[in-house]
Chains A and B, each alone.
Chain A
Amino acid sequence: MEIKKAAMAGTLESSDAQVTVEPGNGSIELSIESSVIHQFGKQIRATILETLNRLEVGSAKVTVVDKGALDCTLKARVECAVYRSNDMTENLPWGGAIRS
């Protein structure tokens, strides 16, 4: 999926993550800020990249501010930001591109 415009999802509350996606230059440029970066940085990164991959996003600038979100929340916030950048809120592929 193409990132058509900048879009954001999530908050800076505890257990949440704020994800911003912007149109990229042909690759994924990912920056992560997290209070638990030393313990879980690798896993957070992997979850975000896997989610983008499932959504077939190959070009994007992605900024994540993590506040101790579970994997399922990270996925939910990335998906929400990507679909928002395409103005899509209906007939979403639950269980398809959006899956565990």
Chain B
Amino acid sequence: MSHPNKKRLRRSMMFLNCQKPGLIKDPYIYKPDSIMLDLEDAVAENQKDAARYSLFHALQEIDYHGVERVVRINGLDTPHWKEDIRVCVAGGADVIRIAKTETAKDVHTVEEHVLAAEREFGRPEGSTLLMAALESCRGVLNALEVCESSDRLIGIALSGGDYTKDLQTVITGTGVELMGARQQMIIAARAAGVQCWDTVFTNLDAMDVFEEEVRMIKMMGFDGKSLVNPRQIDIVHKIFTPSQKEIIFAEKVVKEIEEKKALGIGVFTVDGKMIDIAFYDGAKRTINLAKASGVYEGDL
């Protein structure tokens, strides 16, 4: 059976540097859906060991008030990832984010070590979920095989900085350089039934551009975005939470389709729009998202 939290709400996933005790002690106050405690790029090479002790005690002792605790581990091309996995599992991390994933085999390698660690530390087998960051052209091209690689895998995330480096371009602010990857990844994720998250937006002086980008990735179908600053959380939540108008319309659609079906009517109008069974799943999804976001008060 699939893990109960595999598909939970993950609109906002905020990075926090495990090297900085001041950052990891109380980030739940900003109410992101998930925090991503970073052992990878934010941690200096000679502090990789120190970050693990801080991580272990944070996972064991800090009450994050229901915020999901993801840990980004170092890549499989480093000497750090095996100990990273041991400390994540021993500490009870909810999800491990695999950096620089390129193939299903990468996920399988991590999965083997996670299982060994669950046995070593007496955690239930299968309790540690995985997500994969795609950071290269090969990784993006292999998105589908990565998405289908493991029952533990909750989804894939684009890592735009490394990806554009591999693509031999830069982050331009227009999104044109990320178009192909975003499209490929969301299609692969949906085909495999897993979630998909967009890359970080690092220019904190351009909140209007950030907001535009969030609107775009929402329209593309993404589940949420990796974030670098608490100021970004509310904007993402606002855009990813259905409006009252959308909720009311979705409710009408669901109710009408159910009623009309019983009467043997296939196509009809709601608020002047033609509706048939093809609209049912989308309307249900809006209701479910509203429920998960805590803004639904109806009876569906």
Q: CB within 8 Å of B: which residues of A?
A: 9-10, 13-16, 69-73, 75-77, 79-80, 83-84, 89-92, 94-95, 98-100
Residues on the A chain within 8 Å of B62, using CB = 72
Q: By the criterion CB–CB under 8 Å, are A94 and B56 in contact?
A: yes
Choose among B48, B49, B61 the residue that contacts A100 (Cβ–Cβ < 8 A).
B61
Q: Which residues of B contact A77 (CB under 8 A)?
A: 50, 53
Interchain Cβ contacts under 8 Å between A and B, 15 examples = A9-B53, A13-B22, A70-B21, A72-B54, A72-B58, A72-B60, A73-B54, A76-B57, A80-B49, A83-B49, A90-B82, A98-B53, A98-B56, A100-B57, A100-B60
Known contacts A13-B20, A75-B57: does B90 contact A94 (CB below 8 Å)?
yes
B21, A95: Cβ atoms under 8 Å?
Answer: no
Chain B: how many interface residues by the 8 Å CB criterion?
Answer: 23
Q: Is the CB of B50 within 8 A of A10?
A: yes
Q: How far is the CA of A98 from the CA of B56 in the complex (A)?
A: 9
A sample of 12 more A-B contacts (CB under 8 A), given A73-B57, A77-B50, A94-B90, is: A9-B50, A15-B21, A15-B25, A16-B20, A72-B60, A76-B50, A76-B56, A83-B49, A89-B48, A89-B83, A92-B86, A100-B60
**Cβ–Cβ < 8 Å partners of B53 in chain A:** 9, 75-77, 79-80, 98
Q: Which residues of B contact A90 (CB under 8 A)?
A: 82-83
A59 CB to nearest chain B CB (Å): 22
Closest Cβ of chain B: how far from A43's Cβ, in Å?
14
Assess the B83–A76 pair: CB atoms within 8 A. Answer: no
Q: Give the Cβ gap from B147 to chain A, nearest Cβ, in Å.
A: 30
Closest to A94 in B: B90
Contact of B121 (CB < 8 Å), options: A10, A91, A94: A94
Which 4 A/B pairs are nearest by Cβ-Cβ distance?
A94-B90, A72-B57, A15-B22, A76-B53
CA distance A92 to B80 in the complex (A): 13
| In the complex, chain B residues whose CB is within 8 Å of the CB of A70 | 21, 25
Chain B residues near A95: list those with CB within 8 A.
Answer: 90, 121
Q: How far is the CB of B244 from chain A (nearest CB, A)?
A: 41
Which of B21, B52, B54, B82 is the most central at the interface, judged by chain A CB atoms within 10 Å of its CB?
Answer: B21
Chain B residue contacts of A72, Cβ below 8 A:
54, 57-58, 60-62
Instruction: For the complex formed, measure the closest distance between the CB of A12 and the CB atoms of chain B, giving whole angstroms.
Output: 12
Among A69, A75, A95, A100, max chain B CB count under 10 A is at A95
Least CB distance from A94 to B in Å reads 3
The docked-state distance in angstroms from the alpha carbon of A84 to that of B58 is 20
Q: How far is the CA of A49 from the CA of B20 in the complex (A)?
A: 23
Q: Is the CB of B86 within 8 A of A94?
A: yes
Q: Is there contact, CB below 8 Å, between A89 and B21?
A: no
* CB of A21, distance to nearest CB on chain B (Å): 14
Q: Is B91 an interface residue (CB 8 A)?
A: yes
> Which residues from chain A contact B121 at a C-beta distance below 8 Å?
94-95
Which chain B residues (266-296) contact chain A, with CB distance < 8 Å?
A: none
Q: Report the minimal beta-carbon distance from B128 to chain A, rounded to whole angstroms.
A: 14
Q: Which residues of A contact B107 (CB under 8 A)?
A: none
Interface status of B131 (Cβ within 8 A of chain A):
no
Q: Which residue of A lies closest to B18 (CB)?
A: A76
Instruction: Point out the residues of chain A lying under 8 angstroms from B60, CB to CB.
Output: 72, 99-100
Residues of A within 8 A of B56 (CB): 76, 94, 98
- What residues of chain A lie closer than 8 Å to B49, measured between beta carbons? 80, 83-84, 89
Output the least CB separation between A97 and chain B (Å).
12
Is B87 on the interface with A (CB-CB < 8 A)?
yes
B53-73 vs A, CB cutoff 8 Å, 1 = contact: the mask equals: 110111011100000000000
- A73–B52 Cα distance when bound, in Å, is 11
Name the CB-closest residue of A to B87.
A94
